[in-house]
Structure 1
Amino acid sequence: MTKEFNVPPVIFPSGGNPIVTGGANMQQRRVPTAPFPPRTSNAGIPFMSFEIGSAPTASYGSGAIGGGPVPSAANFDEEPPLLDELGIHPDQILRKTKSILNPFRVNSDVHMDSDLSGPMFLYISLCLFQLLAGKIQFGVILGWIVVSSIFLYVVFNMLAGRNGNLDLHSCTSVVGYCLLPVVMLSAISLFLPQGGGIRFVISGVFVIWATRACTNLMVAVARGGEEHRGLIAYACFLIYTLFSLLVIF
């Protein structure tokens, strides 16, 4: 004998009860209405403009804090170029590079303001030419530049004594810019045959070129090096001979 249970009717939020059709077990339900109908118009939403320069230059009304003046939008036309902010001046680098091209008369006036952007460009150029020759020497060349700059800085200050005014930054700048003949040697060596006396002859010419340019700049930029020109030239000759050996071998 089955026992019947009384099931209470289901009440929907809209107030409608299920309607039972005649003789069928299907129930037809009324779709409840949304309590918050969606907004169809955006007339109440304020429009904000993000155009640069659309804001006034300055508004002196009641500010957000303390009633002070409201700052204006940033004017990007008055901002300096990105290269100037980074300390990179292409025109200055070009003038210093052109001054090295004349080994007999180097213009030392443009090298009074030392920078490291030009030497970094020559360093990357030398590494790329060596990479084209099948030599991966990025770390070796960078390490030799640092060691060579410190070596020449110590030698010069030991020779000049109290009269020397050469700092490490200026010494690194001079050594880096005078690396231009070695960079040219690295580019020319790509077209020279491997193994032969012509490579050594051309390398000797470029080493003497770089030595003469570096010696003249060191004597002109720093004070107290004229009487020790020979010893400074010998130190510069050792430095650029090492770089040329990287190119030859």
Structure 2
Amino acid sequence: MAREFAVPPVIFPSGGISSGPGGLQHRRIPTAPFQPPRSAISNIPFMSFDIGSTTAGNIASGSSVGGGADFGDEEPLLDELGIYPDQIWRKTVSILNPLRLNPDVHDDSDLSGPVLYYILFGFFQLLAGKIQFGAILGWIVIFSLFMYVVFNMLADRTGNLDLHRCTSVVGYSMLPVVIFSAISLFVPRGGMVGFALAAFFVMWATRVCARLLIALAGGGDEHLGLIAYACFLIYTLFSMLVMF
């Protein structure tokens, strides 16, 4: 004989069931606490997946979604860093012709070109088996200060040479020595050929540096020989790094 079990009736809470059309009863879906109403969520573009209609106008007008500035108006990265390749090229071409120097090209002093020359000089020395990046950087700082002090002492009140311009001129005048360091890779060290090349490029760098300092800073014309002698000492030491 089968045994019957008494099943208690199921009672729904009064607020959990709502009456729909046609007398049908629907259970209300519970919501999480602190959840905003669906009407507020639908107004947010990225929550309702309606990004295209909201940002189409911004993208068409060239502005970013977040309301940022137009990137088309931004300056190139090299210009923001103060590196102007056209200016470096014009100064390089001017130095390559020591008989026709153009001081107007070097009127705007910069350090990007000299740093490039120092890196090339150290790279050619590295190809020769000598690691001298630290010596090159230290010497150029000392020599720039040396030329700054010497020139202002000689020119007295008639000169207006500042340290930034002096460092730029001394650095750009390193180009002949950089060329010499590249040629020395294919020339045997020592001998008359090496010393003759060193003398030629040192005189080239000396003439360029002395003329540019006199033309750019003004004053000191009567002391051209002394200024050229100081430049000669500087580039002779750099050439000795290449030869020995």
Counterparts of 1:164 and 1:117 in 2: how far apart (Å)?
25
1:244 equivalent to 2:236? Answer: no
Shift, 1:104, TM fit: 1.5
So what's the TM-score if we normalise by structure 1? 0.75
Cα deviation 1:181-227 (Å, max 9, x = unaligned): 00000000000112312101100000000000111101100111211
Residue in structure 1 matched with residue 22 of structure 2 by the alignment: none
**Is the 8 Å Cα contact of residues 133 and 190 (structure 1) preserved in structure 2?**
yes
Instruction: Give the 3 Å change call, closer, same or farther, for CA 129–53 of structure 1 in structure 2.
Output: farther
Counterparts of 1:97 and 1:86 in 2: how far apart (Å)?
20
1:106 equivalent to 2:119? Answer: no
Residue in structure 1 matched with residue 48 of structure 2 by the alignment: 46
Shift, 1:56, TM fit: 6.0
Residue in structure 1 matched with residue 3 of structure 2 by the alignment: none
Instruction: Give the 3 Å change call, closer, same or farther, for CA 198–164 of structure 1 in structure 2.
Output: same
**Is the 8 Å Cα contact of residues 57 and 73 (structure 1) preserved in structure 2?**
no
1:84-103 alignment, distance < 5 Å: 84-103=79-98
**Is the 8 Å Cα contact of residues 62 and 70 (structure 2) preserved in structure 1?**
no
**Is the 8 Å Cα contact of residues 174 and 217 (structure 1) preserved in structure 2?**
yes
Residue in structure 2 matched with residue 193 of structure 1 by the alignment: 188
Residue in structure 2 matched with residue 181 of structure 1 by the alignment: 176
Counterparts of 2:206 and 2:146 in 1: how far apart (Å)?
15
So what's the TM-score if we normalise by structure 2? 0.76
Counterparts of 1:194 and 1:52 in 2: how far apart (Å)?
69
* 1:81 aligned to which of 76, 94, 98: 76
* 1:143 aligned to which of 109, 132, 138: 138
Residue in structure 2 matched with residue 170 of structure 1 by the alignment: 165
Count of aligned pairs: 201
Residue in structure 1 matched with residue 21 of structure 2 by the alignment: none
* 2:117 aligned to which of 116, 119, 122: 122
Residue in structure 2 matched with residue 220 of structure 1 by the alignment: 215
Counterparts of 2:61 and 2:118 in 1: how far apart (Å)?
48
Amino acid at match of 2:209: C
**Is the 8 Å Cα contact of residues 115 and 173 (structure 1) preserved in structure 2?**
yes
Where does structure 2 lack aligned partners over 5 or more consecutive residues? Answer: 1-29, 32-40
Instruction: Give the 3 Å change call, closer, same or farther, for CA 134–233 of structure 1 in structure 2.
Output: same
Where does structure 1 lack aligned partners over 5 or more consecutive residues? Answer: 1-34, 37-42, 59-70
Report % sequence identity.
Answer: 64
Counterparts of 2:150 and 2:143 in 1: how far apart (Å)?
10
Shift, 1:73, TM fit: 3.0
